[in-house]
Structure 1
């Protein structure tokens, strides 16, 4: 199989690419390298450019007519940044995706795997969600994912471009073989900030301690990024069985099935690195922060034969190992 991955030079896209390559598949990457890294595209065919560039996408398919599916990962993803710059997020995540969909339709692409987000959900009272839970995005970033899904559903109903949206939760860790990891030396998510606090002696702030959870901190479904990458591989393998001409648009949650609070993440981190090496303080929520949720759905296992296998401790260990070699690999 040959697949096109938009945003394939980023943290998640490149890890998906590695999982595809490990299956023996060919990977073509389209990335503007605004946040992605060229170093993460080794073994792939890289096209540097914009997903909204119709001529470039047409050239990719002309030069690779055997591409069987597109995995769309390219997006801006920082929630507080989206609150400060909603126009930029809607332009990048929604408007450019519309242009990409048009290009894929013109190229005759019939399979699209979309990296969506569980942040679009309205959590149930027990903070769980499944694929039928109500949608209520609380940030421009989350809303951009929901809008893309609606557009893709409409396009799937009107054309041959079938779409499978994977709504996933909070990716953490790195490739177990340390081929990729977080490219940003100052990441915005909790585990990345914990690694920085531990590595550089920074302070880690628990942002929000008055949420209606068991310990007051926000709850998340932390999924190892390698498990997430393998979920995308499983989705590609089962695509035609899941997305049929009769049901051309499908949604599946990708998560561990277990919710962990930020305090519990800190405790797990401390267990891995030992006591006395972390300075933790409490602070208010950041703009766009939400209480969080986790999936209880078994649809991924039923439809894709996939379930999470790696633990938070595994994610912490690979994140720490990657942090040690990141300066050498990426020069940052």
Structure 2
């Protein structure tokens, strides 16, 4: 099987590509390298360019007529940037995705696996979400994901394409062979801040300790990126079993089922490093929220998928990637890479 991965030189897309290779699936990468890395395309068929470039997409399908499905990971992903530049985010994430699906239809591609986001949900009283939870995106970035899901579903309802959207929150770590990982040298997510504090010998700050969670700190759904990649492979394998007959589109959540509080994350980090990082408590930052995590019952039922890696496994993987990142990517500042994790 061949699959086209848009955004296949980015963090998620390249890791999905690695999982595909390991599963005997051939990834074809389409990426503009605006945030992706050329290093992550090594050993893979690679087309540099924009998903909205119809002539380029036509060439990809002409040269690979046996592409069976598309995994759509191409997107801008930084929440603060989306607030500062909503026009740019809607253009990149929505307008270009609409053009892209038109190109896929023209080329007879009938299967689209959309890498979406759990950030589109409104969390329940226990901070969990399911596929039936209300949609309430709180940033332009999150709204672009919700809009894309809607337009894909509308198109699939009457056009010869089916769409499966995978929604998840905070990926962590790298693939087991460290072929790919986070592009940014100093990521701004909590695991990145813990690694930075440990490296600098500085304390890690828990911002907000009065949230109505199990220990007062915020809760997030940190999941090993390799588990996410495995779910994408399972979705490709089971695509026709999930979407058949009148069912033209659906969504599946991917997560731990319990979430991890910031305090639990710091404890897990300190269980795998020496010396441990000192932890201090501070007030919440403007815009902070208690957080959310997703139930994944549907993923278990439809994909046969459950996360296999613990939060400690994810942290070990992130630590190892941080050690080798500069050597792997050949730069010291990460200016050409992603500036954080998607769906944070």
Tell me the secondary structure at the aligned position of residue 119 of structure 1.
Answer: helix
Range with bigger deviation, 291-300 or 224-233: 291-300
Deviation at 1:259, TM superposition (A): 1.4
Alignment of 1:227-266 (within 5 A): 227-266=227-266
CA contact under 8 A between 1:268 and 1:312: conserved in structure 2?
A: yes
SS at match of 2:14: helix
Confirm or deny: 8 A CA contact 1:129 1:297 kept in the other structure: no
TM-superposed CA distance for 1:154, in Å, is: 0.2
Report SS of the residue matched to 1:216. coil
Please, which moves more after superposition, 220-229 or 265-274? 265-274
**Which position in structure 1 is the counterpart of 2:338?**
none
1:279–1:298 CA distance, 2 compared to 1 (3 A): closer
Query: Structure 1 stretch 294-303 or stretch 132-141: which is displaced more?
Result: 294-303
TM-score of the superposition, structure 1-length normalised? 0.95
Secondary structure of 1:114 counterpart: strand
Partner of 1:309, secondary structure, is coil
Q: Per-residue deviation at 1:203? A: 5.7
Decide which moves more: 192-201 or 237-246. Answer: 192-201
Preserved CA contact (<8 Å) 1:15 1:229:
yes
Which residue of structure 2 aligns with residue 291 of structure 1?
290
CA deviations over 1:47-83 (Å, ceiling 9, x no partner): 1111111111111111111100000001111112212
Which secondary structure state, in structure 1, belongs to the residue aligned with residue 253 of structure 2? strand
Deviation string for 1:92-131 (max 9, x for gaps)? 1111111111111111100000000111111111111111
The CA distance in 2 between the partners of 1:6 and 1:221, in whole Å, is 25
- Structure-2 change in CA distance of 1:321 and 1:169 (3 Å): same
Summarize the alignment of residues 174-323 of structure 1 with structure 2, pairs less than 5 Å apart. Answer: 174-201=174-201, 204-278=204-278, 280=280, 282-285=282-285, 287=287, 289-323=288-322
Q: Deviations over 1:145-193 (max 9, x none)?
A: 1000000100100201100000112111111221111111121221122
Q: Which residue of 1 aligns with 2:23?
A: 23
Structure 1 pair 177–280 and aligned structure 2 pair: CA distance change class (3 A): farther
CA contact (8 A) 2:204 2:277 kept: no
Q: Which residue of 2 aligns with 1:329?
A: 328
Aligned partners of 1:197 and 1:204 also within 8 Å: yes
Q: Take 1:223 and 1:174, find their aligned partners in 2: how far apart are those partners?
A: 11
Q: What is the Cα deviation at residue 42 of structure 1?
A: 1.6
Please list every run of 5 or more consecutive structure 2 residues that lacks an aligned counterpart in the other structure. 333-344
Answering whether residue 143 of structure 2 is matched by residue 134 of structure 1, we say no
Residues 107, 201 of structure 1: alpha-carbon distance in 2 compared, 3 angstrom cutoff: farther
Once the two structures are TM-superposed, the CA of residue 277 in structure 1 deviates from its matched residue by 3.7
Equivalent residue, structure 2, for 1:81: 81
Give the length in aligned residue pairs: 331
Cα distance in 2 for residues equivalent to 1:12 and 1:65: 25
The answer to whether the 8 A contact 2:198-2:276 is kept is no
CA contact (8 A) 1:186 1:196 kept: yes
